[in-house]
């Protein structure tokens, strides 16, 4: 296929994608956030096609009428809900397909963000599930055939259903705030109030990470990349959880170099005393010989007992994706992500011998999106040192490998 015909194919695909997504409600914006990370595996001229259509999709989201939002607030907070605020801005600062956010001043004078879920969010999400799974499977087969788009979409929709539970989100937000309490590097907003479909949190300013990606200095990109990496590896240890939705819209970079962390609806809870999926990922990629790799894969559950595998070809499969684990510092780029996906595609026959443990399936989207954001930032990060700090520090050494 020529470059020109490939571009035409992607333009037609992007238009069809936008048409389908534009007709849906539940989960559309979150789906768009995931698709935006896929752009990194495409050549720049083609990714621009999807970026333009996705921007139109974002702009097409219209907030609910004031009366609808006020109705939810009255039902869940009480008819006198306005007395809980010194002021409440009826114009939302952000709108998505399941909820919108309003800026307000709480009764104690704190600036707050008020997240209000749409009354039909749950029904819309369930109604759109099959269509979204189909679209994501179709899109993935075109841009990244090595990835199981249908499985990723099903996991995404399951996590979205959890995001409708604001009591669960508030619990996760409190866990992250407690875990990073006193840290000069991370700002997690306090939960001010939660009831029903309403979640009130402290307001977080800063520069959106999307703006850093678009026009930030290299120093800002590297700082954001370092903190995102620390968040990935520290949260399982300090909070017992993994942020499940690390797209750029959920982070803010401050002038003092700290990172604001938002949106705890998609959070993976880890079983106490078990090894984090991210540490399993590091152990796999740090294996120095084919035999050591096989032992590690069996130890962490990627190779079931009795399953035979080509150790040398498996090591080739992990060689490129594991480059960050073998470098003192690593520069994440879109080219790195594209090459990783290309090699995964070329190695599909050997990859079929692997099985994803249940805990790793749930963490895969977080890890994949997180690395995708690092590549969007084009950040230089001491990735290996950050991971090993937790592998050999508070988390303890890796579990003994069978001999």
For the stretch 367-383, pLDDT in tens is: 888 888 999 999 999 99
Average pLDDT estimate for 356-371: 75
According to the model, what pLDDT value does residue 239 have? Answer: 93
pLDDT at 244 over 90: no
Verify whether residue 190 is a known catalytic residue.
Answer: no
Q: Exposure of 117 by Cβ count < 10 A (0-12 exposed, 13-18 middle, 19+ buried)?
A: buried
For the stretch 222-238, pLDDT in tens is: 999 999 999 998 998 89
CA distance 42 to 31: 18
pLDDT class of 401 with cuts at 50, 70, 90: very low
For the stretch 289-316, pLDDT in tens is: 999 999 999 988 888 888 888 888 888 8
Residue with tokens 């989207």: 365
- Higher pLDDT among residues 18 and 110, named by residue: 110
For the stretch 306-348, pLDDT in tens is: 888 888 888 888 888 889 988 889 999 988 888 887 777 777 6
For the stretch 249-284, pLDDT in tens is: 899 999 999 999 999 988 888 888 778 888 888 889
Range scoring the smallest mean pLDDT among 5-9, 18-22, 89-93: 18-22
According to the model, what pLDDT value does residue 202 have? Answer: 98
Range scoring the smallest mean pLDDT among 143-157, 274-288, 388-402: 388-402
Closest residue by Cα to residue 262 from 276, 248, 275, 274:
248
Closest residue by Cα to residue 284 from 299, 268, 305, 304:
299
| DSSP string of 307-341, one letter each residue | ----HHHHHHHHHHHTGGGGSSSEE--HHHHHHHH
For the stretch 36-86, pLDDT in tens is: 555 555 666 766 776 666 666 655 556 668 899 999 999 999 999 999 999
pLDDT class of 29 with cuts at 50, 70, 90: low
According to the model, what pLDDT value does residue 110 have? Answer: 97
Average pLDDT estimate for 10-25: 69
Average pLDDT estimate for 164-186: 96
- Higher pLDDT among residues 134 and 235, named by residue: 235
Q: Exposure of 297 by Cβ count < 10 A (0-12 exposed, 13-18 middle, 19+ buried)?
A: buried
pLDDT at 118 over 70: yes
| DSSP reduced 3-state for 361 | helix
For the stretch 87-107, pLDDT in tens is: 999 999 987 768 899 999 999
According to the model, what pLDDT value does residue 383 have? Answer: 92
CA distance 375 to 347: 22
189-to-65, 95, 115, 202, 283 alpha-carbon distances in Å: 27, 19, 13, 5, 33
Is residue 354 left, alpha or beta, with left meaning phi > 0 and alpha meaning psi from -120 to 50? Answer: beta
CA distance 271 to 261: 23
Is residue 399 left, alpha or beta, with left meaning phi > 0 and alpha meaning psi from -120 to 50? Answer: beta
According to the model, what pLDDT value does residue 402 have? Answer: 31
CA distance 402 to 383: 27
Closest residue by Cα to residue 211 from 262, 249, 185:
249
**6: Cα separation from own chain's centroid:** 29
CA distance 80 to 83: 6
CA distance 163 to 159: 6
167-to-24, 85, 173, 264, 359 alpha-carbon distances in Å: 26, 20, 10, 11, 23
- Higher pLDDT among residues 22 and 384, named by residue: 384
According to the model, what pLDDT value does residue 330 have? Answer: 96
C-alpha torsion angle, residues 136, 139, 143, 146 (rounded to 10):
50
Average pLDDT estimate for 200-206: 96
Among the options 128, 148, 234, 245, which is catalytic?
A: 245
Query: β-strand 99-106 against 111-117: which pairing, if any?
Result: antiparallel
According to the model, what pLDDT value does residue 23 have? Answer: 61
pLDDT at 140 over 50: yes
pLDDT class of 28 with cuts at 50, 70, 90: low
According to the model, what pLDDT value does residue 121 have? Answer: 77
Range scoring the smallest mean pLDDT among 3-17, 209-223, 250-264: 3-17
C-alpha torsion angle, residues 127, 122, 162, 54 (rounded to 10):
60
- Per-residue three-class SS string for 48-85: HHHHHHHHHHHHHCCCCCHHHHHHHHHHHHCCCHHHHE
Report the 10 Å Cβ neighbour count for 143.
19
pLDDT at 175 over 90: yes
- Higher pLDDT among residues 133 and 223, named by residue: 223
Residues with Cβ < 8 Å from 346, sequence gap 6 or more?
A: none
Query: β-strand 207-208 against 251-253: which pairing, if any?
Result: antiparallel
Residues with Cβ < 8 Å from 239, sequence gap 6 or more?
A: 175, 176, 178, 179, 180
pTM of the predicted protein model = 0.81
């Amino acid at each position: 296929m020529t470059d020109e015909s490939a571009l035409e194919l992607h333009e037609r695909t992007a238009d069809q994608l936008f048409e389908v997504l534009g007709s849906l409600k539940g989960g559309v914006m979150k789906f768009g956030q995931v698709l935006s990370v896929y752009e990194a595996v495409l050549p720049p001229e083609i990714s621009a096609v999807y970026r333009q259509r996705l921007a139109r999709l974002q702009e097409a989201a219209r907030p609910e009428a004031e009366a609808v939002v006020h109705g939810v607030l009255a039902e869940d907070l009480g008819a006198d809900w306005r007395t809980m605020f010194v002021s409440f801005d009826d114009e939302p600062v952000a709108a998505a397909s399941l909820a919108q956010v309003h800026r307000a001043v709480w009764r104690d004078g704190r600036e707050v963000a008020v997240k209000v879920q749409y009354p039909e969010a749950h029904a819309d999400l369930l109604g759109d599930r099959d269509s979204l799974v189909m679209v994501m499977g179709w899109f993935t087969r075109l841009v990244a055939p090595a990835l199981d788009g249908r499985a990723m979409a099903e996991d995404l929709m399951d996590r979205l259903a959890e995001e409708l539970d604001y009591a669960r989100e508030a619990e996760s937000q409190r866990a992250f705030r407690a875990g990073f309490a006193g840290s000069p590097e991370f700002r997690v907003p306090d939960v001010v109030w939660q009831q029903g479909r309403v979640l009130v949190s402290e307001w977080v300013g800063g520069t959106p990470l999307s703006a850093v990606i678009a026009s930030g200095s290299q120093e800002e990109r590297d700082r954001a990349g370092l903190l995102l990496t620390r968040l990935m590896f520290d949260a399982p240890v300090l909070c017992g959880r993994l942020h499940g939705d690390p797209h750029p819209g959920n982070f803010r970079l401050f002038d003092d170099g700290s990172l604001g962390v938002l949106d705890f609806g998609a959070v993976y809870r880890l079983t106490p005393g078990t090894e984090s999926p991210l540490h399993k990922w590091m152990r796999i990629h740090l294996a120095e010989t084919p035999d050591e790799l096989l032992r590690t894969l069996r130890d962490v559950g990627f190779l079931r007992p009795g399953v035979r595998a080509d150790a040398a070809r498996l090591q080739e499969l992990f060689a490129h994706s594991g480059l960050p684990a073998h470098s003192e510092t690593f520069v994440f780029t879109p080219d790195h992500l594209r090459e990783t996906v290309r090699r995964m595609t070329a190695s599909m026959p050997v990859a079929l011998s692997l099985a994803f443990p249940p805990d790793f399936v749930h963490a895969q989207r977080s890890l994949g999106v997180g690395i995708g954001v690092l590549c969007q930032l084009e950040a230089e990060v001491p990735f290996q040192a950050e991971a090993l700090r937790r592998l050999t520090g508070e988390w303890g050494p890796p579990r003994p490998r069978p001999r």
